[in-house]
């Protein structure tokens, strides 16, 4: 089965998700500097979520690139991932509009956690289909980023009730770690070619 439409549909959902998040940046009714400055928490949470959706798109791109076979199970694991990512606009809006209050900040981390788990499940599912000797399986290797992320999000959820800013620092720090492109897959593909 071809992976073209799987990529196209995922691109569509992620492109819409990333773009409708900007609707939470509601146009202020007056034109003062103060009205603009008051938007900073919404803007900050938009920026963080844009980076996260970008990271998921980027890693998804790499992962599918190294995939040869797609099955019905992979399609559903992919939809499961898209479900959690589709909730990011909601948690982004709730966290931003409430100036990083504890519960919204914890829920934001909760959706990041579920997305990370869903991504891991999709990865396992693709490896199961393509074999432990596939390019992807060997490229993933120890996958320390994939293992660290859920721990960081769980810590962030707990810390949100102590200091939401520590949670945000954790979420942002984890994003920075992911921003370094996943060269494992690129390198492995070159090595296998």
Tell whether residue 120 is a contact of a copy of itself (CB under 8 A): no
By beta-carbon proximity to a copy of itself, the closer residue of 76 and 151 is 76
Tell whether residue 172 is a contact of a copy of itself (CB under 8 A): no
Instruction: Please list the helix, strand and coil fractions of the chain in percent, rounded to the nearest 5, in that order.
Output: 80, 0, 20
Distance, CA of 157 to CA of 168 (rounded, Å) = 10
Distance, CA of 161 to CA of 178 (rounded, Å) = 25
Distance, CA of 90 to CA of 101 (rounded, Å) = 15
Q: 99: left (phi > 0), else alpha (psi -120 to 50), else beta?
A: left
By beta-carbon proximity to a copy of itself, the closer residue of 95 and 170 is 95
Given candidates 41, 44, 101, 166, which one binds a copy of itself under the rule CB under 8 A? 101
How far apart are CB 87 and a copy of itself at their closest, in Å?
7
Distance, CA of 96 to CA of 84 (rounded, Å) = 18
The window from 6-14, 123-131, 146-154, 166-174 that contacts a copy of itself (CB under 8 A) reads: 6-14
Contacts of 172 (CB under 8 A, 6+ apart): 48
DSSP letter assigned to residue 39: T
Tell whether residue 186 is a contact of a copy of itself (CB under 8 A): yes
Tell whether residue 158 is a contact of a copy of itself (CB under 8 A): no
Residues interacting with a copy of itself, by CB under 8 A? 1-2, 5-9, 11-20, 22-25, 27-33, 36, 47, 50, 54, 57-58, 61, 65, 71-73, 75-76, 79, 82-83, 86-87, 89-90, 93-94, 97-98, 101-104, 107, 179, 181-183, 186
């Amino acid at each position: 089965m071809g992976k073209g439409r799987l990529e196209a549909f995922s691109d569509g959902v992620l492109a819409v998700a990333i773009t409708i998040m900007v609707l939470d940046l509601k146009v202020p009714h007056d034109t003062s500097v103060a009205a603009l400055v008051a938007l900073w928490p919404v803007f900050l949470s938009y920026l963080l979520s844009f980076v996260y959706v970008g990271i998921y798109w980027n890693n998804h791109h790499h992962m599918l690139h190294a995939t040869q076979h797609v099955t019905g199970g992979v399609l559903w694991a992919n939809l499961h991932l898209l479900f959690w990512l589709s909730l990011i606009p909601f948690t982004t809006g709730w966290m931003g509009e409430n100036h990083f209050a504890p519960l919204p900040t914890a829920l934001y981390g909760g959706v990041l956690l579920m997305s990370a788990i869903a991504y891991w499940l999709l990865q396992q599912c693709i490896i199961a289909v393509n074999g432990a000797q596939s390019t992807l399986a060997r490229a993933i290797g120890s996958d320390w980023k994939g293992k660290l992320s859920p721990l960081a999000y769980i810590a962030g959820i707990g810390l949100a009730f102590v200091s939401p800013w520590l949670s945000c620092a954790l979420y942002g720090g984890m994003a920075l770690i992911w921003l370094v492109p996943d060269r494992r897959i690129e390198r492995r593909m070159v090595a296998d070619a």
